[in-house]
Structure 1
Amino acid sequence: MRAQLARVDAVLVQALIAAALSFAHLHDIALAAGQDGWKAWAYPVSVDLLLVAAWRRLRSGEAKAAGWCWFVIALAASLGANVATAGLLDMNDVPAWLRILVAGWPAVAFLGGTLLAHTAPTTVDENAEGSDDPVGQEDASEPASDLDSEEAPEPPPTPPAIEPPPPERPTVPVPAALVEHARKVAAEHRTRTGTPIDTPTLRARLGVPPPMAEAIAAQLT
């Protein structure tokens, strides 16, 4: 137990020292970039809060792409401030691009924090939540009735209906001369229109009743 407490205490002390150093470096960069007063102290808080929000999003397992994106952005801001204060940057003559980055950071942090805080609601499966419905539980607990348990007898198969054959039409006698004349009429119609003559047109050309026209058309095919 004492070993565990000592290990936890060491981790907490190390985390507090690292956080204090990073906080101080971010404050110094913001102060050198022209953000004096309380604004210089607000910049480290903004960067650290964005880091924590992005890390919580990664731990939750939802929208990991957004979590990694804002985590890298906040880590780059913190790491950049730590490296810049190591003597690589003249704190009395900060370049213009750094002033622009520091001045634009609040808008970036606000956008990232808003996107990380507001997430789309998770869709709940209604079937999985069926146990919360008292009506459904009551129905599930009731035994099935005897009528439902008994299988209904299957109806006997219905024999297929047999359609009676169509009545045969009486054969209409057609003179051979009329058939030859009909062939000429059909040939002339095909030559003129390019299509075979139909029964109504043949009947109209010959002036015969419909049964005889059908008998002649049957002999022409």
Structure 2
Amino acid sequence: RLEKARSWDSKNNIHLCRTLCEAGGEINQEYRTPLFNLLEKVQNEVSELNHLSNQDKANHMSHKNLGWRDILELAERKYLDQIIEGNVRWPPKCHNRDSKAAPANFGANLSQAPVYNRGSGVTCYNCGKTGHKKNACPLLKSTKSNSNGSKGRNHNGKGKTSNQSSPDPKFVPPGANATPMRVINGGVKIFEKHIKGRKFEWCAACKRWSTTHNTSTHRGNGNRASQSRNGTGM
């Protein structure tokens, strides 16, 4: 209506284009980049229109495919491209998920997960305590030290260790014939056992029993496929 009434000033195409750029969110470059490129063209062209009437400006911009309709159509196309079922990338729709269902782009989300710094909020996947990561776990250093200290020969000199001990139960994987407590996420077997009165669940990626997570809920760089290599019978 403004255009028909000759009240629309095509200089406003700049503000229109900039507003639509911001609608995609700061990290949505797939949507923002084409609109920013169009914005640059609009700005360059508008600078040449000062001597024209509003109607002539509108005609000129439309002829250059830089009119307000062109801007809206581009924004709509890029938006529709990102809400295709099965390949949704539009940020607001990506956050509207079924909490009980695994996300379609689960792997991509993992690669974008925030990297946590050392601090009280970090949980160790080795001992389950907070304040450090697995690679800095004191328990790992202690276990390694004890392992090195147990090597040696007994008094009869036959090469047997004099201080042999049973393996840590937290690192003994489920047997090949072990029965899982439940099976989830398309066949991932969840194994449970109690150690000193505490319930532990097996994580094939960490290759240990944990009180904080299991193979299905592991969020590190481990590969769930290692479960089959650890005798868990995926």
**TM-score higher than 0.5 here?**
no
TM-score of the superposed pair, with normalisation by structure 2: 0.29
State which structure, 1 or 2, has the greater radius of gyration over its C-alpha atoms.
Answer: 1
Pick 1 or 2: higher relative contact order, CA cutoff 8 A, min separation 6: 1
Larger relative helix fraction: 1
- TM-score of the two chains, using structure 1 as the length reference: 0.31
